[in-house]
Amino acid sequence: MADFQIAPSILSADFAKLGQECDDVLASGADIIHFDVMDNHYVPNLTIGPLVCDALRRHGVTVPIDVHLMVSPVDRLVGDFAEAGATYITFHPEASDHIDRTIQMIRSAGCKAGLVFNPATPLSYLEYELGNLDMILLMSVNPGFGGQGFISSALDKLKRVRNIIDDSDLDIRLEIDGGVKVDNIAEIAAAGADTFVSGSGIFGKRNESDPNKYDTIIQEMRDELAKVG
């Protein structure tokens, strides 16, 4: 069985009870927490910063926190998120003037580093940095909002990146973000993803019998993934 990881995006959670929301998705079988940081500059929306990451750690979240930076500039926030308990820090190459420097900053701070590719961003950024990456995140929506539809060209891109990773023999996670639901997660896994961000697909789908729990939807995703391997 492949090492598939389900990463609920707390962008779609109830921010008034964020700690409880994290506890509930994790108790329901999620693997990691996806943490979307938006700055109203790189993307036209504004969300959460290092204080909230730190608060989740203090609340008792021990699983990896996957910080997806949709901010420009990037470097100023790397140390703050490392101190706040981030596990992964991923960023968009267009948002950094010096991509290699940013990756080195993330790793020097003790975090795992990832590059994020928008639907129209070419994969050429991988050419000289593959060996410095712990994660490659492909966007299957344009960044900035939850609840958008999956852009199907991401499937071909996933296949290409899966081949690049496998040919390299490097230990790099391949994450997909945007429009991931029960009805497309198997196709996305078959294309090569191993880490699945889902915001509205999970937080919008609480158990009918117990609206604070997410076991049913996460189990449905696992059942779909089991069909793939």
Residue ranges in contact with ligand DX5 by CB under 6 A: 9, 11-12, 34, 36, 68, 141, 143-144, 146-148, 177-180, 197-201
Q: List the beta strands (DSSP E) in the chain.
A: 5-8, 33-38, 65-70, 88-91, 112-117, 135-139, 173-177, 195-198
- The listed partner (Zn ion, ligand DX5, none) that binds 93, CB under 5 to 8 Å by sort, is none
* Active-site annotation holder among 36, 39, 66, 194: 36
Q: How far is the CB of 135 from ligand DX5 (least distance, A)?
A: 14
Q: Is the dihedral of CA 115, 65, 153, 73 positive or negative?
A: negative
- CA pair distance 209, 97, nearest whole angstrom: 49
- CA pair distance 168, 101, nearest whole angstrom: 22
Stretch of residues binding Zn ion (CB under 5 A), selected from 15-23, 72-80, 124-132, 175-183: 175-183
Residue with Cβ nearer Zn ion (179 or 192): 179
Residue with Cβ nearer ligand DX5 (13 or 100): 13
Cβ-contact 180, 202 below 8 angstroms: no
Of 191, 113, 116, 195, whose CA–CA distance to 152 is shortest? 191
Q: Does 68 bind Zn ion (CB under 5 A)?
A: yes
Length of the chain, in residues: 229
- The listed partner (Zn ion, ligand DX5, none) that binds 178, CB under 5 to 8 Å by sort, is ligand DX5
* Active-site annotation holder among 24, 39, 134, 177: 177
- CA pair distance 87, 82, nearest whole angstrom: 8
Is 97 considered catalytic here?
A: no
Is 66 considered catalytic here?
A: no
Q: Does 181 bind Zn ion (CB under 5 A)?
A: no
Residues assigned a catalytic role: 36, 177
Footprint of Zn ion (CB under 5 A): 36, 68, 177
